[in-house]
Chain A
Amino acid sequence: MTTEAIAEPRYSSETAIKVRGVQKRFGDKHAVEDVSFDIADGELLVLVGPSGCGKTTTLRMLAGLEPVSDGQIQFGDRVVNEIRPRDRRIAMVFQDYAIFPHLTVFENIAYGLRSRREARKVVKDKVTEAAQTFRIDHLLTRKPRQLSGGERQRVALSRAMVRDAALYLYDEPLSNLDAQLRHQAREDILTLHKNKHRPTVYVTHDQSEAMALGDRIAVMADGRIQQIGTGSDLYERPVSEFVAFFIGTPSINLFDMEIQADGDGAVMVGSGLRLRVHPSMTAAARAHVGQRVRMGVRPEDLHVPRMAPFEVTEENTLHGIVTLIEPTASGCTVYLSTAEGQDFVATFTVRLPNSYLDQEIPLGIDLSKVHLFDADTGASLLKGDIDAVSR
């Protein structure tokens, strides 16, 4: 046996990672149907979606833990479909941290290096440095069971830190942490990411985590990517009702409407409302006159009339009975329901007193910011300028 380190494979890193038409079938069930995306060097891509959408399966295929049923995964210009995990040069942080309980913190962090037969000195230096970065250098001789959840998570990050991987993968690393530790942990992950500046894939079901971390975000549902883009792309220009609903908390409010022509303009009628279509959308709306649509209004775009940044008239007002008021640091979130019994939510930057509970209040809709979706397919009607789902 030589004492030299076993060379890890080198990949050309022009476009670091390419995923092309990847599918995964379990029996006759499609867990992932046709997923394609690129990750540039130093980019952090977040895969986000509800449970069972195929995001974790996609991650596991990237890691090589799960064979690919169809399609190609390329690292640089090399197809890695048939390369086993240990030869792929990846580092992964697991949801339960996957720390070896019988090894000390030091040995846990050193494991990846030891299994590649790095020199003793190199191992020690790298482990110490990583431990210092994540503030666990005083814990190196402890066993994992003596650590708190946050400390275990930092051990897992250190373990990724000592590696020189071509791709870094995170599988919901924050979901087992208390809320107060998450902000710090997010920052630690970004520290690691900036330090390595390698392609990174991060899986989560929490859209706010995705928004906070991702350079780009891929929203997945039913084994497909619905939309890829930056946080503001997804928020301001969702391609479908699903994306609009998934991104943003509280979720977007949806109303069933019908578009009608009205002189030069257009109006939306339905759910007990008659709203004038904003001039910027009139052209798009008039192409769908007579059609049933779903109007999406974000809770932030509902305003108390007196404080609205626009003139509130009969044609942009929504009436609702207050059912719950949730105080927040910046104001409050109000849960209402219309006379027809449809529930909706509004967020205010002021505090609504509890005396408004069960009262009816008028709210102004910022019609320049509403979204319109096809009632059947859920596709966005207004934003013709959005690129089709980015590949």
Chain B
Amino acid sequence: MLFPRVGRKQPMLRIAWWAVVAFLCLGIALHLFPFYFMLVSSFKSGEEVLAFPPTFWPQDPSFAGWKLVFQIVQGSAGQLLDAPLWLFFWNSVQITFWVLVIGIPITSMAAYANSKLQRGPMARWSFLFFIGTLMMPAALTLIPNFLLTRNFPFALPNAPNIPGTDTAFPTFPIWDTHWAVIFPICFQAFNFLLFKGFFDTIPDSVIQAARVDGGSEFNIFRRIVLPMSVPVYAVTIWTAFSLAWDQFLWPLVVLQTPERMPMSVELYLLMERIVQSGGTSAEAAAAEAEVMQDMLGGGLSWNGLMVLAILQSLPVFIAFIVCREYLLRGIRLRGLK
């Protein structure tokens, strides 16, 4: 432990100890406050949310925000959604599911191979290559990635011609499909780093013992390494889950069909429509203005958005609870030096 274990009764150390405790509490409070405010705001009335100075406890608790979101989901508050909400939820579930099912095995096996199977400069170079992708800002890869989804496997505006002919190479456009959202985030360099760091701590002798025992490389990975690595899987699954669930910009770019949007994008669009009155056509604007009147009358503005935000972050929170359980269980299982 960083703090000396002996001599805590000395006055200077006591003061230092309480200072440390105070800083920790402050840190926790700063972290938790946005969540608290989100939760509290969802129970405020429309006027109170916008009141200044802000209130930290609803003066006049109301379920107006929750009610309205419920109506929107049911479709009784006008056509604000392009499709029933459960469809977008299902889209998100599908995308996240495939990201985990494809991404985690690929990432972990790549890290295992890099940590235990590759040797010498090869191992170092490939490690640097993977980690190098972390240095690349997402904005830089946005356009090439987009082109790639249009003309897979070419990151070009148009597929090149087959040499000597006029016909272009066949391409497999995955643009405007879920796969365009899934593939780019399957391999996550940060998770690779986590896996690699963990596998490096597994003694080589355990793997060599299994080899001498006759286990094939894949069997060793599945039977020996995997059960030892539960905690790191818990961590990476959670990070991959929240990344896939919350991703926003990329699906907005590659998905066109409204019915294919994930929850995160759809909620954003919904918020936008709620907040902005007016639309593309006069008729729609009139209709929406009418709806807005209704909603504001019912108390929906920011409080409704808070409800939606809670709905969006709930699955991530649940995933965290589940992974946390395995994290602790795995630590108990391992611990073998």
Q: Which of B1-46 contact A (CB under 8 A)?
A: 4-10, 13
Interface: A177 (CB within 8 A)? no
Interface: A236 (CB within 8 A)? no
Whole-angstrom CA separation of A82 from B4 in the bound complex: 11
Interface: A215 (CB within 8 A)? no
- How big is chain A's contact interface, by range? 10 to 19
Which of B7, B9, B10 has the most chain A CB within a 10 Å cutoff? B7
Q: What is the 8 Å Cβ interface bit string for chain A, positions 48-81, against chain B (1 contact, 0 not)? A: 0000000000000000111100000000000001
Interface: A181 (CB within 8 A)? no
Whole-angstrom CA separation of A282 from B6 in the bound complex: 54
Whole-angstrom CA separation of A64 from B4 in the bound complex: 9
Interface: A116 (CB within 8 A)? no
Interface: A142 (CB within 8 A)? no
Whole-angstrom CA separation of A82 from B6 in the bound complex: 6
> How many whole Å from B246's CB to the nearest CB in chain A?
39
Contacts of B7 in A (CB 8 A): 64, 82-84, 87
Interface: A270 (CB within 8 A)? no
Whole-angstrom CA separation of A83 from B4 in the bound complex: 10
> How many whole Å from A25's CB to the nearest CB in chain B?
14
Whole-angstrom CA separation of A84 from B8 in the bound complex: 8
Whole-angstrom CA separation of A84 from B13 in the bound complex: 10
Interface: A85 (CB within 8 A)? yes
Q: Whose C-beta in chain B lies nearest to the C-beta of A66?
A: B5
Contacts of A81 in B (CB 8 A): 6
Whole-angstrom CA separation of A83 from B10 in the bound complex: 8
Contacts of B9 in A (CB 8 A): 82
Contacts of B13 in A (CB 8 A): 84
Contacts of A66 in B (CB 8 A): 5-6
> How many whole Å from A376's CB to the nearest CB in chain B?
37
Q: B5, B8, B10: which contacts A65 (Cβ < 8 A)?
A: B5
Whole-angstrom CA separation of A87 from B4 in the bound complex: 11
Contacts of B4 in A (CB 8 A): 64, 84-86
Whole-angstrom CA separation of A82 from B13 in the bound complex: 11
Q: What is the 8 Å Cβ interface bit string for chain A, positions 286-305, against chain B (1 contact, 0 not)? A: 00000000000000000000
Q: Whose C-beta in chain B lies nearest to the C-beta of A61?
A: B6
> How many whole Å from B254's CB to the nearest CB in chain A?
47
Whole-angstrom CA separation of A87 from B9 in the bound complex: 14
> Could you tell me if A82 and B5 are in contact, using CB atoms closer than 8 angstroms?
no
Contacts of B6 in A (CB 8 A): 64-67, 81-85
Q: Whose C-beta in chain B lies nearest to the C-beta of A68?
A: B6
> Could you tell me if A67 and B5 are in contact, using CB atoms closer than 8 angstroms?
yes
Whole-angstrom CA separation of A261 from B7 in the bound complex: 61
> How many whole Å from A85's CB to the nearest CB in chain B?
7
Whole-angstrom CA separation of A287 from B272 in the bound complex: 100
Q: Whose C-beta in chain B lies nearest to the C-beta of A86?
A: B4
Whole-angstrom CA separation of A40 from B9 in the bound complex: 29
Q: What is the 8 Å Cβ interface bit string for chain B, positions 30-71, against chain A (1 contact, 0 not)? A: 000000000000000000000000000000000000000000
Contacts of A87 in B (CB 8 A): 7
Q: Whose C-beta in chain A lies nearest to the C-beta of B7?
A: A84
Contacts of A85 in B (CB 8 A): 4, 6
Whole-angstrom CA separation of A170 from B240 in the bound complex: 48
Q: Which of A82-119 contact B (CB under 8 A)?
A: 82-87
Q: Whose C-beta in chain A lies nearest to the C-beta of B9?
A: A82
Whole-angstrom CA separation of A382 from B41 in the bound complex: 84
Contacts of B5 in A (CB 8 A): 65-67
Contacts of A86 in B (CB 8 A): 4
Whole-angstrom CA separation of A83 from B6 in the bound complex: 6
> How many whole Å from B6's CB to the nearest CB in chain A?
4
Whole-angstrom CA separation of A81 from B5 in the bound complex: 11
Q: What is the 8 Å Cβ interface bit string for chain A, positions 250-287, against chain B (1 contact, 0 not)? A: 00000000000000000000000000000000000000
Whole-angstrom CA separation of A86 from B7 in the bound complex: 10
Q: What is the 8 Å Cβ interface bit string for chain A, positions 136-154, against chain B (1 contact, 0 not)? A: 0000000000000000000
Whole-angstrom CA separation of A67 from B4 in the bound complex: 10
Q: Whose C-beta in chain A lies nearest to the C-beta of B12?
A: A84
Contacts of A67 in B (CB 8 A): 5-6
> How many whole Å from B219's CB to the nearest CB in chain A?
35
> How many whole Å from A192's CB to the nearest CB in chain B?
25
> How many whole Å from B337's CB to the nearest CB in chain A?
13
> How many whole Å from B4's CB to the nearest CB in chain A?
5
Contacts of B10 in A (CB 8 A): 82-84
> How many whole Å from B123's CB to the nearest CB in chain A?
20
Q: Whose C-beta in chain B lies nearest to the C-beta of A83?
A: B7
Which of A81, A84, A85, A87 has the most chain B CB within a 10 Å cutoff? A84
Whole-angstrom CA separation of A87 from B5 in the bound complex: 13
Whole-angstrom CA separation of A87 from B6 in the bound complex: 11
> How many whole Å from B40's CB to the nearest CB in chain A?
40
Contacts of A82 in B (CB 8 A): 6-10
Q: Whose C-beta in chain A lies nearest to the C-beta of B6?
A: A64
Contacts of A84 in B (CB 8 A): 4, 6-7, 10, 13
Whole-angstrom CA separation of A83 from B7 in the bound complex: 5
Whole-angstrom CA separation of A227 from B8 in the bound complex: 34
> How many whole Å from B13's CB to the nearest CB in chain A?
7
Q: Whose C-beta in chain B lies nearest to the C-beta of A81?
A: B6
Q: Whose C-beta in chain B lies nearest to the C-beta of A87?
A: B7
| B interface residues with partner A (beta carbon < 8 Å) | 4-10, 13
A and B contact pairs by CB, cutoff 8 A, 11 listed: A64-B7, A66-B5, A67-B5, A67-B6, A81-B6, A82-B8, A82-B9, A83-B10, A84-B7, A85-B6, A86-B4
| A interface residues with partner B (beta carbon < 8 Å) | 64-67, 81-87
* A64-B6, A83-B7 given; 6 more Cβ-contact pairs under 8 Å: A64-B7, A65-B5, A82-B9, A83-B6, A84-B6, A85-B4
Closest 10 CB pairs of A and B: A84-B7, A64-B6, A84-B4, A82-B9, A67-B6, A84-B6, A67-B5, A82-B7, A83-B7, A66-B5
